Amino acid sequence: MTRALVLSRRSMLLGAAALSACGRKPPARSEPEAPAGPVTLEAAVAGAWRTPEDRARDAFRHPVESLKFWGLKPGQTVVEFWPGAGWYTDIIAPFLAATGGRLYAAHFEPDPADTAGAVVAEAFRRRINANPKLYGQVQVTAFGRTSGEVAPAGSADLVLFLRNLHNWMAAGIAEKAFRDAFAALKPGGALGVEEHRARGGGVPDVLATDGYVEQAYVVKLAQEAGFQLAQASEINANPKDTRDHPFGVWTLPPVRRSSPRGQPDNPEFDHAKYDAIGESDRMTLRFVKPATQQS
């Protein structure tokens, strides 16, 4: 693959990813008056402000179990990379606001060529800022090829990469994501990763062409940035996922692609087989920034 083709593909994938964490148009959201803040993760997940579409995905994303595994606690400072339309933000931000914590949302880096990303990022910012009683004072920063710090150095207790590594690999910025996360974390802080999991055992596809990533490759990238693997979990595993789908991971819910990227939807495509699988098989990993740095 020539460099020109790689760069073109990276630009195309980033623009598509801007519609959500995996390319889906964000659902319409109402802005109800916020009740008393949720002081438990269970209460945040049960919050009436979350859309029915988002709630329906809880069975596949296991937000309470995942966030507890990654180590989210009351009062923490958290950085969420590329929150998209805010699926996880709608849980994390109210919880942190109610418990004295703080959220940095490192959204898409401004890019004149990426109008879709700009629309999503601006809609996210407006929605969050319109309801400070619910979301608190979320600090929206940016992550991308030339972005600066996502949060003040050494300030974060927890950083989250939530189904975005494949996009960063395609764009050639995955290594930067790990470096930026490492810089933002306090010594002893944690990095939580949720990502579509490749079958493993082969040669890693460093561009994540089908959206799946080898777990060993993720561990390698994290370790090269200075992280230590603390624990791996099967919370978000899906043994039904065969990974041999015609349009990559995006054939599965929630995207449900029915034609190659950039082409019109195919109304004759039979989604039944892929809907029966559900969402993808995913790795769920927790890394730590060492409490003391090697000299």
The fold adopted by the segment(s) 3-24+40-288 is: Rossmann fold (3.40.50)
DSSP structure string for 116-177? HHHHHHHHHHHHHHH-HHHH---EEEEESTT---SSSTT-EEEEEEES-HHHHHHHT-HHHH
Question: The tokens of 6 are what?
Answer: 């790689």
- According to DSSP, the residues that pair with 287 across neighbouring strands are 191, 229
pLDDT of residue 36: 58
Q: How far apart are CA 171 and CA 8, in angstroms?
A: 9
Q: How far apart are CA 107 and CA 150, in angstroms?
A: 9
- The domain segmentation of the chain, as residue ranges, is 3-24+40-288
pLDDT of residue 200: 87
Average pLDDT along the chain, 295 residues, taken 10 residues at a time: 43 46 51 65 97 97 98 98 98 98 97 90 96 96 97 98 98 98 98 97 92 98 98 98 98 98 96 98 98 69
Interacting residues of 274 by C-beta distance below 8 A, sequence separation 6+: 245, 251, 252, 253, 256
pLDDT of residue 109: 95
pLDDT of residue 169: 98
Vertex 43 angle, CA 42 and 44, to 5°: 90
